[in-house]
Structure formats: structure tokens, C-alpha cells
Amino acid sequence: CQEALTASDWLEKNFPIASWGRIAWNEVIQSSCTTWNDTSELLSAFEKIIVENKLEGSVIVLWTNALKPPIRIKLSVLLNYSQAIFAEDWDTWVYSEEDKWCIEVFHDGEICFGVGLNK
């Protein structure tokens, strides 16, 4: 799980983390959050974030469960498998180490996007 530790460390270095484990989006200046009620709304919101912010390149996918190792995948490929990837665990983070942005999918029906504090 060394890779998982590295991935979570990256998030903690670049984003403020609340005591309950979510990113504290109210402290991230360049951020926005959208609510979703079902899988189709989640997938639509995810795609909208990618298109509106012109996101691309290689990303890391990290889940709440530390037993699931993070994966590195091209964002264009992730779009094709996002439903399966989000179904893997309660909460999911998709982030770009290079461009310092993160998308957080929270199980209670919120998806957020923001640029890290160390950009």
C-alpha cells in the first residue's frame, strides 16, 4: 500500500483535508461543487467538469478503501469507465499531479472540482 500512501499524501499536501476525510472545498479558492441524485447525473457532472475545465492527460484514481491500490489512467480512457470506477468504493478522488487539480466524488451526492493550493 506504499502507492496508496503516496497518493493520499499528495492530496494532503495540495488540498486542505477536513477531519472526516473530505477535501475542505470552502478553503479552495478555485473550486466548485455540484449535487447529483443518481448515476446518470454523476456521470454527466463528471464529464461537464472535464469539458468546461479542458482537463486532459494522465490522472490518479484513489478510493477511500486503502486496500484498493490507486491507479494511473489517461483521463480520456477514464471517461469510458467512470461508472465502474465510481462504483468501486464510497468515495473517489481523481487528480492530476502535473496540473494540481482534483475531482472528488462524495457518496452523499456531491462532486467537486478544484485546483490545489500549491499550484
Instruction: Encode pLDDT of 4-55 as tens digits.
Output: 548 888 999 999 999 888 999 999 998 999 999 999 999 999 999 999 999 9
What integer pLDDT is reported at residue 1 of this predicted model? 46
Say if CB 28 and CB 16 are below 8 A apart: yes
Q: Is the four-CA dihedral 12, 114, 50, 54 of positive or negative sign?
A: negative
pTM of the model: 0.92
Confidence of residue 84 (pLDDT cuts 50, 70, 90): very high
Look at residue 66 in the predicted model and tell me its pLDDT: 82
End-to-end CA distance of the chain: 27
Half-sphere exposure of 90 (CA within 13 A, CB side): 6
Number of neighbouring beta carbons within 10 Å of residue 54: 6
Question: Exposed, middle or buried: residue 5 (CB in 10 Å: 0-12, 13-18, 19+)?
Answer: exposed
Per-residue pLDDT band at 71 (split at 50, 70, 90): very high
